[in-house]
Chain A
Amino acid sequence: MVQWLTFTAGVLTALFALAAYGIRGLGWLLPARNNAPLVLTALGGFAVTWFTVIAISAELGGVVNLEPGGWIAAIASLLPVLGAFALPQERPDADGTKEALKAYIAKPDRIPAPQATSGWVQRAVITAVTIIGLGVFTYGIDTEYGELFVGYLFVVTFAMWAIHTAGLLDRFSALVAANRSFTLAMGFAAAIAFPFTQTDDHYANIGVNILIFGTVALGLNIVVGLAGLLDLGYVAFLGVGAYTAALVSGSEFSTISGVHLPFWASALAGAAASLVFGVLIGAPTLRLRGDYLAIVTLGFGEIFRIAVNNMDGDSGPDVTNGPNGISNIPDLNLLGFNFGQAHDLGGFTLGRFANYYLLMVLIMAIVVLVYTRAADSRIGRSWIAIREDETAATAMGINGFRVKLVAFALGAALAGLAGTVSAHVTYSVVPTPYQFAGSTPPNSAFLLAAVVLGGMGTVAGPLLGAALLYLLPEKLVFLQDKSLLAFGIALILLMRFRPEGIIANRRRQLEFHETGQLDVPKQTTLTDEPAVTKAGA
């Protein structure tokens, strides 16, 4: 498996090297005509090889036990790096070692404009990128042990960095912007295709959990990313949805036994219950601003968990069975399609989790639709206005409290919807996962981290953030109790070097990096002509 990683890094390095030499037909790989991508891919190959060699040595108990092949690989991987650094530098005027090193991996400000391409070519490119993306993502999920996943992260990070400095990422964003709905369709096609690439249902389980986590993160993105309301107890709404679904879906442990609603009804009930809780919690707390709101929502999130823990018939009314939770939630059965059984579909076997995965893709599609449509409307603008300056927004006639309550309730309802599915996927609901912070997602801290890490105010950002944050603790079991520490360090590094998140919203990108923007107008203050406008009567 590791061979594939080093092989990929090597192929990328070779491609960038050939493109830098000006081999015909590869020019498109390097729109910026720089050497930085070559340096970065070489570094990526070097990093993954050395990491592997070190990990194997550690496993075998010393460098002496390493096979000769390992030595050869380690030294061989060093060569492209040295070669890449020997290439002429882009900014020879850089002074100091630090500046010189920066210049090696810098992305040039000026990138030649792309040639016009026809619509078919653009769509073909997007399709190809989607397929490659699906392949890369699938590989990441299917990694069998933690060290391999770390190596995978090395290669992906350096490759993405290289593609970014080569200017390919900018080109691709322009393509996406021009074919927005096509990209969205391709994205969902890739999401649907994922379970068909899997032979082991365990990986579909990871997939469905990522989707649940991502959907909830997207709901939180409405509250945090658009309306700017810092909610630290958001996971409670997922819990409300899950518990509602568990109660009405015919579990023998449900305290309202005998009720067995069809899925659409229990999903609606879960979303509605979350919505009601959102309004109940939001109505008194949304009068607060900033940090105060964060503290109060944190409190309400914990109240939910503790209340659910205590409603066991001893210390409170018997609703949730306390810490035992509600188990034996039956599998869904939609129109005769039993989600609990494996189905054969055109030669592919879809296991239990794959079935739920496909259902979650549908729910995520709904959430994405709600998010994009709400963001681009009168109400979405008023959310952003409230986030930017609440006083000015109310002076413009926006009823701040009401608009914030709508955001809060909508976010809660979407989380509740995701919760109804998660109750079925996990067979049982218990109070423990619905806490503020823990070492495994979803919890409120991880949800917020997924939104901030991925990129606030975007659709793809929280989904990517959720995928990363789910996979890291899942794959890095060898870190054990130090995983939270590693997670914290990773967050700090990311916030230091890319505060707008992995996928940047245009607005936030401009907010944090003012340089190099075409948007910034020339500052002309004093002109000879009086700046009388058309208004001059």
Chain B
Amino acid sequence: MTTPVLEARGVTMRFGGLTAVRSVDFTVNAGEIVGLIGPNGAGKTTFFNCLTGLYVPTEGTVSYKGTVLPPKPHLVTQAGIARTFQNIRLFANMTVLENVLVGRHTRTKEGLWSALLRGPGFKKAERASEERAMELLEFIGLAHKRDHLARNLPYGEQRKLEIARAMASEPGLLLLDEPTAGMNPQETRATEELVFAIRDKGIAVLLIEHDMRFVFNLSDRVAVLVQGEKLVEGTSDVVQADERVIAAYLGEPFEGDPGEAEAAEVEAAEAAASADAPSTTSSTKGEAK
């Protein structure tokens, strides 16, 4: 049926004695949105860094569309995997347009000589890059701010710009590291729309997120990483129902715990508070983490 875009086999990452990621197998298929969740310190970002070549995995391989990726960030981007960062890493003192143009780096070839000689090929390539960058800025709705410095954008727009910059490298797979961190509900909803729109362009999306409602709304599949190991993987319903996931986020129930009746009372209150949520129990529990 579907072909895997990303295939990680037995990825293990050790820092000295600490094993941050332990033999994780993971696939993302074309046209999929996959969520990666887990408690803080579970190794999600480390796993991301292994996928994008920022870390060299101690063991295991990562392949994109069937070819094994070399552990060099720029080659991974060249191959077709682009990413954003958990704490925004824009080129703060470049303009919005320039940021996106830097993202075009792997899809253009003009070197120093053509820049110095300024032949017709150079001008054509620069124009084409700029057109493509402006398309992307239209797509995320920042075209009117093309000449602003990135550092002067409001937080939500910086997040968007980072996504546009990543998309400029024409990836087949986009990795988003906590795209809604620090956003208000409206901005989160807008990001949700944006991720769907990106998927509709034929780009598979893998995202790390702590906002459970956001993840379960978006994702076709969700994988749970706990202490460096993949605990469960499956559709939203499967993951939400899984006892071990709840235990990982909230801790194991202990002997003589508050009792069923009190727990049910709390849950009922929570359900009343957030009646619009599709699956109250586990998602609220997830958020309550």
Show 29 A/B contacts (Cβ-Cβ < 8 Å), sorted by A. Answer: A373-B115, A378-B129, A379-B111, A379-B112, A382-B105, A384-B91, A384-B94, A385-B91, A385-B94, A388-B91, A388-B92, A389-B89, A391-B54, A393-B91, A395-B74, A395-B83, A396-B82, A396-B165, A508-B93, A510-B93, A519-B147, A519-B148, A523-B154, A524-B154, A526-B184, A530-B190, A531-B187, A533-B193, A536-B194
A60 contacts partner chain B, Cβ-Cβ < 8 Å: no
CB–CB B156/A521 < 8 A: no
Query: A271 CB to closest chain B CB, in angstroms?
Result: 14
Q: Which 9 A-B pairs have the closest CB atoms?
A: A533-B141, A397-B106, A377-B115, A397-B77, A392-B89, A388-B91, A530-B186, A394-B73, A535-B197
CB–CB A395/B187 < 8 A: no
A483-537 residues at the B interface, CB under 8 angstroms: 507-508, 510-511, 517, 519-521, 523-527, 529-537
Q: Mark A357-377, 1 if CB is under 8 A from B, else 0.
A: 000000000000110011011
CB-defined contacts of A532 to chain B, threshold 8 Å: 189-190, 193
CB–CB B94/A388 < 8 A: yes
B75-125 residues at the A interface, CB under 8 angstroms: 77-78, 82-83, 85, 89-94, 98, 101-106, 108, 110-112, 115-116, 118, 122, 125
Interface size on B (CB < 8 Å)?
62
Q: Mark A88-105, 1 if CB is under 8 A from B, else 0.
A: 000000000000000000
| CA of A379 to CA of B140, assembled, Å | 26
Extra A-B contacts (13), CB below 8 Å, given A374-B115, A379-B112, A397-B106: A374-B116, A377-B115, A378-B126, A384-B93, A388-B93, A388-B94, A391-B73, A395-B82, A396-B169, A519-B147, A526-B186, A531-B156, A533-B190
Q: Taking A378-B108, A391-B54, A394-B73 as contacts, is the C-beta distance between A531 and B169 under 8 angstroms?
A: no
Q: Taking A392-B90, A394-B74, A396-B165 as contacts, is the C-beta distance between A381 and B152 under 8 angstroms?
A: no
CB-defined contacts of A399 to chain B, threshold 8 Å: 74
Q: Taking A395-B54, A537-B200 as contacts, is the C-beta distance between A527 and B169 under 8 angstroms?
A: no
CB–CB B74/A397 < 8 A: yes
A211 contacts partner chain B, Cβ-Cβ < 8 Å: no
| CA of A385 to CA of B99, assembled, Å | 8
The listed residue (A378, A507, A517, A521) touching B93 by CB distance below 8 A is: A507
Q: Mark B183-209, 1 if CB is under 8 A from A, else 0.
A: 010110110011011101000000000
Q: Mark B146-168, 1 if CB is under 8 A from A, else 0.
A: 01110111111000100001100
| CA of A533 to CA of B197, assembled, Å | 11
B237 contacts partner chain A, Cβ-Cβ < 8 Å: no
Query: A369 CB to closest chain B CB, in angstroms?
Result: 8
A250 contacts partner chain B, Cβ-Cβ < 8 Å: no
CB–CB A535/B102 < 8 A: no
Query: B108 CB to closest chain A CB, in angstroms?
Result: 6
A325-382 residues at the B interface, CB under 8 angstroms: 369-370, 373-374, 376-382
CB–CB B152/A410 < 8 A: no
| CA of A388 to CA of B92, assembled, Å | 7
B219 contacts partner chain A, Cβ-Cβ < 8 Å: no
A400 contacts partner chain B, Cβ-Cβ < 8 Å: yes
User: Which residue of chain B is the closest to A510 with respect to CB atoms?
Assistant: B149
CB–CB B141/A534 < 8 A: yes
Query: B151 CB to closest chain A CB, in angstroms?
Result: 8
CB–CB B105/A397 < 8 A: yes
User: Which residue of chain B is the closest to A528 with respect to CB atoms?
Assistant: B186
A106 contacts partner chain B, Cβ-Cβ < 8 Å: no
Query: A252 CB to closest chain B CB, in angstroms?
Result: 38
A111 contacts partner chain B, Cβ-Cβ < 8 Å: no
CB-defined contacts of B160 to chain A, threshold 8 Å: 533
Query: A61 CB to closest chain B CB, in angstroms?
Result: 55
User: Which residue of chain A is the closest to B83 with respect to CB atoms?
Assistant: A395
CB-defined contacts of A394 to chain B, threshold 8 Å: 54, 73-74
Interface size on A (CB < 8 Å)?
49
CB-defined contacts of B83 to chain A, threshold 8 Å: 395
CB–CB A534/B139 < 8 A: yes
CB-defined contacts of A150 to chain B, threshold 8 Å: none
CB-defined contacts of A377 to chain B, threshold 8 Å: 110, 115, 122, 126
CB–CB A521/B193 < 8 A: no
B14 contacts partner chain A, Cβ-Cβ < 8 Å: no
User: Which residue of chain A is the closest to B114 with respect to CB atoms?
Assistant: A377
| CA of A533 to CA of B141, assembled, Å | 6
CB-defined contacts of A393 to chain B, threshold 8 Å: 91, 102
B145 contacts partner chain A, Cβ-Cβ < 8 Å: yes
CB–CB B152/A519 < 8 A: yes
Residue from the set B89, B92, B165 with the largest chain A CB neighbour count within 10 Å: B89
CB–CB B73/A535 < 8 A: no
CB–CB B156/A378 < 8 A: no
The listed residue (B92, B104, B112, B138) touching A374 by CB distance below 8 A is: B112
B52 contacts partner chain A, Cβ-Cβ < 8 Å: yes
CB–CB A380/B115 < 8 A: yes
CB–CB A521/B145 < 8 A: yes
The listed residue (B108, B140, B165, B196) touching A533 by CB distance below 8 A is: B140
CB–CB B108/A507 < 8 A: no
Q: Taking A378-B115, A510-B149, A535-B141 as contacts, is the C-beta distance between A521 and B73 under 8 angstroms?
A: no
Query: B134 CB to closest chain A CB, in angstroms?
Result: 13
| CA of A388 to CA of B155, assembled, Å | 18
A398 contacts partner chain B, Cβ-Cβ < 8 Å: yes
A134 contacts partner chain B, Cβ-Cβ < 8 Å: no
Query: B29 CB to closest chain A CB, in angstroms?
Result: 20
| CA of A521 to CA of B91, assembled, Å | 18
| CA of A520 to CA of B148, assembled, Å | 8
Query: A263 CB to closest chain B CB, in angstroms?
Result: 22
CB–CB B116/A370 < 8 A: yes
Query: A383 CB to closest chain B CB, in angstroms?
Result: 10
Query: B123 CB to closest chain A CB, in angstroms?
Result: 11
A406 contacts partner chain B, Cβ-Cβ < 8 Å: yes
CB-defined contacts of A508 to chain B, threshold 8 Å: 93
Q: Taking A531-B187, A533-B141 as contacts, is the C-beta distance between A521 and B154 under 8 angstroms?
A: yes
The listed residue (B73, B92, B155) touching A395 by CB distance below 8 A is: B73
CB-defined contacts of B152 to chain A, threshold 8 Å: 510, 517, 519-521
CB–CB A536/B190 < 8 A: yes
Query: B154 CB to closest chain A CB, in angstroms?
Result: 6
Residue from the set B83, B102, B118, B139 with the largest chain A CB neighbour count within 10 Å: B102
| CA of A410 to CA of B113, assembled, Å | 11
CB–CB B74/A398 < 8 A: yes
CB-defined contacts of A392 to chain B, threshold 8 Å: 85, 89-91
CB-defined contacts of A397 to chain B, threshold 8 Å: 73-74, 77-78, 103, 105-106, 169
